[in-house]
Amino acid sequence: MSIVEYHLFIKTCIICFYLDSCLILSLFRDLNEYLQYIKRQCVQQLTAKYQLISIIWIYDDVSIFINNIKYLQSIMRQFISKNPATKQVLGEFKFLNDQELNHVIQQSKEGYQINKNSSFQIKSEKLLKLADLLNQNQEKYAKLISYEIGKPISQSMAEVKKSQNYCKYYAENINKYLQPQRVKTEAKNSYVQYSPIGTIYSISPFNFPFWLCFKPIIPMLAVGNAVIHRPSDSTGLCGLALQELFTSAGFDGNIFQNAFTTAQQLDQVMAHPQIQGVSFTGSTAAGSIIGATAGKYLKRSVLELGGSDPFCILQNANVELAVQLALKSRVANCGQVCFSAKRFIVHFQYYDIFKEKLVNALEKLKIGDPLLETTELGPMAREDLITNILNQIKKGVDGGAKIVYGGKRLKENENFMLPTVVEVDEQNVLAKEETFGPLFSLIKANSNDEILRIANNTSYGLGAVVVSNDKKEIEQFVNHLEAGMVFVNEIVKSDQRLPSGGIKGSGYGRECGEWGVQNFSNIKTVWIE
């Protein structure tokens, strides 16, 4: 235990009593900010040793009772890798203490100097080596992803392949994107130069443990930065595999480091002068804390956050195509995708037929072992995730939503969930909150104008799908949808050639393509007389 952790432990005076599966936590004293943070995070995971039914928080005169929480994240918690299909624990990894973390950051200084002074050719060769290693070990890495998060193996294979192609893309375009750009002025010579800025802290989510590591990090390394990568708490094995992979490709000498850090260490990381930015993909709640902390220390941040993406089926839509795209978007990775479609806003003339065809298709889905090639829908990645979406569905039903299909676990105490179709109005909680799971929230609209209004009636702005064969309809929606990405007659997806990111509560900054290298570059103006 580090000095900081010990001090925090003493100050909080946490007292745990096992009384019929209840835990009492008391005397938080002056750590109001820390307590509020824990409340917001809703105590994500326990070290898998305890099965708790209820928690009573006692803070001064305030008692808050939280029901049905099975996992409590302690100060000294660990990364836990668990197979969601079998609930078998695959590995446990200790968090870095503050001294160990500081050592990692200090080491990244050396990595930064190495990568900063490497030529485009050397960096390109390393990226090609990375792509080659991904290709050679595609099946191995895909199985690891499926074991750790329950993603069907065919989708895990596609994730590894996408990461491989991404590395090749930047290897082939690094010179074009980072060459000085001449600008004609009154000067004898004037140009814009792209230079690295230091070490970037990159925080990845659980749902795409390979792709969402590579997506922000490859441009960072290409421009010459060093990277400290923090994987999700539940994908520690993928984090270790990525460390081995980058090192084997030549990003050694501390250019790329995997780090099992705690949420409480964010301030320590961002305060360090070697750290010059942070990239985060995940929830809006966590992103707001990370962005605020980065701003506090005047460090750059790129945030790709949650979404409640509209799927707009317009007056001149192809319904068969709409059903295919809806399935493709929402079933992938068991609906655990930031920019999968969440709100299916359907023109009234197609509403009933779309609902019928969607339910018929869902009834035929193959749900089961993620390691089988025929599986289309695997388990949700963690127990807390399936508990959360089932609670959201209950709240939605309490608020007037009607379950058309599904709405429950496939079997009790398992992480497999029936895909669910619900009918809601635009004010229902299922149309307001981000829903992470195989949930289709259907909203009937009377006109295209109403579809557009409902689509924009959200605090999010990540992606949007438009299904239509009419050019005027398409133009209206492309021009007026409030989203960072609009896909017409196709699902929203990230493409290495195009910018990826959102607006409003879905974050800021862009990844991929030439935009990806600009986020953490010193875009330097040079004027020579």
Question: Could you report the average pLDDT of every consecutive run of 10 residues in the chain (529 residues)?
Answer: 41 32 32 44 36 30 30 51 95 94 97 96 97 98 97 98 98 95 96 97 97 98 98 96 97 95 96 98 95 98 97 98 98 96 98 98 97 97 96 97 97 94 97 97 98 98 98 98 98 97 97 96 97
Q: How far apart are CA 407 and CA 423, in angstroms?
A: 12
Task: Determine the topology of domain 310-497 in CATH.
Answer: Aldehyde Dehydrogenase; Chain A, domain 2 (3.40.309)
CB of 107 within 8 A of CB of 252? no
What is the C-alpha separation between 333 and 319, in angstroms, rounded?
A: 23
Q: Which helix (H) or strand (E) holds 524?
A: strand 521-528
Catalytic residue, chosen from 304, 423, 434, 482, is 304
CA-closest candidate to residue 454, choices 436, 475, 473, 428: 428
Coil vs helix vs strand at 257: strand
Separation between Cα atoms, residue 292 and residue 379, nearest integer Å: 34
Q: Report pLDDT for 425.
A: 97
pLDDT of residue 280: 98
pLDDT at position 503 is 98
| Residue 490 is among the residues annotated as catalytic for this protein | no
Q: Is 338 a catalytic residue?
A: yes
Burial of 261 (0-12, 13-18, 19+ CB in 10 A): buried
DSSP state string for 370-381: TTSTT-SB---S
For residues 317 and 467, the answer to whether their CB atoms sit within 8 Å is yes
Residue pair 261/230 in contact (Cβ under 8 Å)? The answer is yes
| Token pair 């020579």: residue | 528
What is the bridge-based pairing of β-strands 54-59 and 22-25? Answer: parallel
3-state DSSP assignment of residue 477: helix
Q: Which CATH number fits domain 95-305+509-528: 3.20.20.10, 3.40.50.300, 3.40.605.10, 3.10.100.10?
A: 3.40.605.10
Q: Rounded to an integer, what distance in angstroms lies between the CA atom of residue 26 and that of residue 59?
A: 6
Q: Quick one: how far is CA 449 from the chain centroid?
A: 31
Set 334, 338, 473, 511: catalytic member = 338
pLDDT on residue 524? 97
472: its two tokens: 């005027």
- pTM for the model stands at 0.85
Answer for the pair 438, 334: CB distance below 8 angstroms, yes or no.
yes
| pLDDT value of residue 34 | 44
Q: Tell me, what's the pLDDT at 315?
A: 97
Give the pLDDT score at 12.
Answer: 40
Q: Residue 239's CB: how many other CB atoms inside 10 A?
A: 23
Point out which residues pair with 507 in neighbouring strands: 304
Distance of CA 483 to the CA centre of its chain: 17
Domains of the chain: which residue ranges? Answer: 3-78, 95-305+509-528, 310-497
